[in-house]
Amino acid sequence: MSTDAATAPLERRSPWPLIWLGFLVAVVAIWLLRDPLIWLVKYPDKLEINLAKWIGIAAKWLVAHIQFLTRGLAAVLDMPLDTAIAVLAKGILAPNDAVIVPRVSWLGVIGAMTLTGYAYGGLRTAATVFLCFTYIAFFGQWNGAMLTLASVIVCVPIAVALGLGFGILAFRHPRLATWVVQPSLDLMQTMPSFAYLVPVLLLFGSGPVPALVATVIFASPPMVRATVLALRSVPEEVMDFGKMAGCSPQQKTWRIMIPSSRALLMVGVNQVIMMTLNMVIIASMIGAGGLGYDVLLALRQGDIGRGAVAGLAIVAIAISLDRISQAAAEHQARPFKSGDTFAHRHPYLIAGIGWLAVTTLISLFVPEFSDVPKSLTLTLGDSLNEIVKWININFFDLIEAIRTWLLLNVMNPVKQGLLMAPWIAILGGLVLAGYQLGGRRLALLVALLVAFILIAGQWEKAMISVYLCAISAVIAALIGIPIGAWASRSDWGNRVATIAVDTLQTLPTFVYLIPVVMLFRVGDVTAMIAIVSFAVTPAIRYTAHGLRNVSPQVVEAARAMGSTPRQILWRVQVPLALPEIMLGINQVILLSLSMLVITALVGTRDLGQEVYIALTKADPGRGIVAGLCVAFLGIVLDRLAAAGAKRARERLGLLDINAQH
């Protein structure tokens, strides 16, 4: 391995300006000679390989041979899911639809959840949870929400167990971790969530269980990462203690490492819950019922108000579970006295179960306890639709003007430019950047991944993806960085920004689409706005954090030299915070890509659309190839940005703030 390009002494005159100039000249030359050299501008069809077809054939073969396995797995998963659905949503019914065992009462669930919030997080968490579940009950979303909650309850433990298992494996075998686990995690996390659906659909068919499988696959990677991180964080002395106390390897894992890194593991659990809820709407495309299906159906029928209400119910569940699991992570157990009975030790558990049992028992006789009474439910959807209609009537010209202006002056020129640019120029530019920032290895990686997209015949769609993603990322950075800078100026601003960013991040990706579609209808502008609003958060967060973390002594020194606040910001804080801001931009790009695929639903023509079409046609080859292309784009951009941030950090002599980059 050689990284001489990256580590060359800075004093030496860098050759890079000259190299880039040469590159530019070459590109212009190719452009001028584009008629004879058309194969350098437009990638020749002859050199494409129909990967989709081959993968499709391989997948069919695989399906035929392992269906017995997948059927078995589906049967196993069916049991807990059915049980959870029966308990929360449907009860156990006789063939003639008579209720044998009722579902738990909605009052019971609200009470038990609120109590859980109180047990872990005190009054504030309890109040949040109570409000969220009350919203669900009174806005007519109870049935859907309980179906969703049932699948979450089954999915989260499975994903956590899987993640924990692989995490422990990766921790115990570092070589396995670097060569197998880490790259697969990178791939899985940059692969768009849709892409998981295609093979799952193929192997398991459609229905609640396949949706569960896809969700588990989607939600476990963060748990693997969190587990490895948590186990590595156990102090060496504690590990030594374990050995000296005579722990067997199993005892060391389960009695020392896992419990003593509980707080970090709970962060992983929290992420699993959030990812699971993120997947709710997407999973409903292959047969998950519940709120996700309600949203999807409403969107397809153009009843945006109804979609928004159901979407908000998902948000309500997400916020509740997020707060509860965060509080649980920080919660510290009370010591028990030796004479305590079980009831003394677990007062909230007993009270919660008691309340559930009592309300459910009453619900056998009082129907109001079983279903939320119709007279109490409010409908919000119609009024939302009215509002949208009103806005659209009164502001149609304005919104339309904004849309057209953006399309004509920003979006289309970039799109045309990217589509017309010679492929060799883009490939060459990326590889060159890779070499400059990260040496030979990075250049090779970039070359291979970009070449895959070319050979797979996805170049044009990829360029449309890049165009949407790039514009969105730039706009998100332009909006997010100033907000972050503003937030860093005062504690108050910082608090407001933190709350806003945290809340935005608990929203499932899909929810971002709803308001934008309401106002801008489908199309590229809609997609762009949705992406920007989803991807803006890391720009805010990293900028604020980076600026606040600039050493106070440096700022003090600058002030002592008579700098104005403006000068301090621009001359001192921004340059020093630059590496962290760049990491934020890196995150913005990755989030943009993941949102890109979801915006395929609003009619873009990029890789996301390709995945979506593959899904509707159940064409695994096409779906996997397009999914890989998105993932590869993400990896290329991520590695380039990370290498750039690392170089900037080294130049400034800052500590490596983020060891994994």
Partner 1 sequence: MGQGEAPMDAPSVAQELNGAGLRGVKLSCRNVWKLFGANADRKFDAADLTNLTAAELGARGQMAAVRDVTIDVREGEIFVLMGLSGSGKSTLLRCLSRLIEPSAGAVMFEGQNLLDANPAQLIDIRRHKMGMVFQHFALLPHLTVIDNVAFPLSLQKVGKSERQRRAREVLELVGLKGKELSFPRQLSGGQQQRVGIARSLAANPELWFLDEPFSALDPLIRREMQAELQRLQSVLKKTIVFVTHDFDEAIRLADRIAIMKDGAVVQLGTPEDLVLNPATDYVAEFTGDVDRAKVVSAARIMRPRSGGAVAGEVNARDKIVDIAPRVIGAGQAFVVRDGSRVVGEITPQSVLDILLERGTRR
Enumerate binding residues for partner 1 (CB under 8 A).
235, 237-238, 240-241, 243-248, 251, 255-256, 259-260, 262, 332-333, 335-338
CB of 331 to partner 1, least distance (A): 11
Nearer Cβ to partner 1 (262/559): 262
Which residue, 220 or 261, has its beta carbon nearer to partner 1?
261
Nearer residue to partner 1 within complex by CB, 16 or 241: 241
User: What's the closest the beta carbon of residue 488 comes to partner 1, in angstroms?
Assistant: 32
Q: Which of 7, 233 has the CB closer to partner 1?
A: 233
User: How many CA atoms does the CB half-sphere of 568 hold within 13 Å?
Assistant: 20
Distance of closest approach, residue 168 Cβ to partner 1, in angstroms? 18
Q: In this structure, are residues 449 and 437 in contact, taking their beta carbons and an 8 Å threshold?
A: no
Helix 262-278 vs helix 304-330: crossing angle, to nearest 10: 170
Classify strands 92-93 and 99-101 as parallel, antiparallel or unpaired.
antiparallel
**Residue closer to partner 1 (CB basis): 71 or 344:** 344
For partner 1, the closer of residues 240 and 556 by Cβ is 240
DSSP string of 583-617?
A: HHHHHHHHHHHHHHHHGGGG---SHHHHHHHHHHT
Tell me the H-state helices in 346-422. Answer: 347-363, 367-370, 381-406, 412-420
Write down the least CB distance from residue 224 to partner 1, Å.
22
The least distance separating partner 1 from the CB of residue 229, rounded to whole angstroms, comes to 17
CA distance 180 to 478: 37
Residue in 583, 586, 585, 563 with CA at minimum distance from that of residue 573:
563
Name the DSSP letter for residue 101: E
Between 333 and 560, name the residue whose CB sits nearer to partner 1. 333
CA distances from 635 to 445, 477, 575, 620, 641 (A): 9, 19, 26, 22, 10
| Shortest distance (Å) from residue 263 CB to partner 1 | 9
By beta-carbon proximity to partner 1, the closer residue of 235 and 417 is 235
Among candidates 634, 633, 628, 629, which has minimal Cα distance to 587?
A: 634
**Judged by CB, which is closer to partner 1: 266, or 643?**
266
CB of 164 to partner 1, least distance (A): 16
Nearer to partner 1, 338 or 553 (CB): 338
Pick between residue 175 and residue 337 the one whose CB is nearest to partner 1: 337
**Measuring CA to CA, how many Å separate 126 from each of 134, 327, 378, 413, 473?**
12, 11, 23, 51, 37
Q: Least distance (Å) from partner 1 to the CB of residue 335?
A: 4
- Nearest Cα neighbor of 310 from 320, 298, 322 is 298
Residues in the chain: 661
Q: Which helix (H) or strand (E) holds 100?
A: strand 99-101
3-state secondary structure of 254: helix
In this structure, what DSSP letter does residue 659 have? T
CA distance linking residue 205 with residue 218, whole number of Å: 17
- For the CB of residue 344, give the shortest distance to partner 1 in the complex, in Å: 13
For 255-312, the DSSP string reads: IIIHHHTHHHHHHHHHHHHHHHHHTHHHHGGGT--SHHHHHHHHHHTT-HHHHHHHHH
Q: Token pair for residue 486?
A: 């503003």
Shortest Å, Cβ 345 to partner 1: 13
* Nearest approach, Cβ of residue 337 and partner 1 (Å): 7
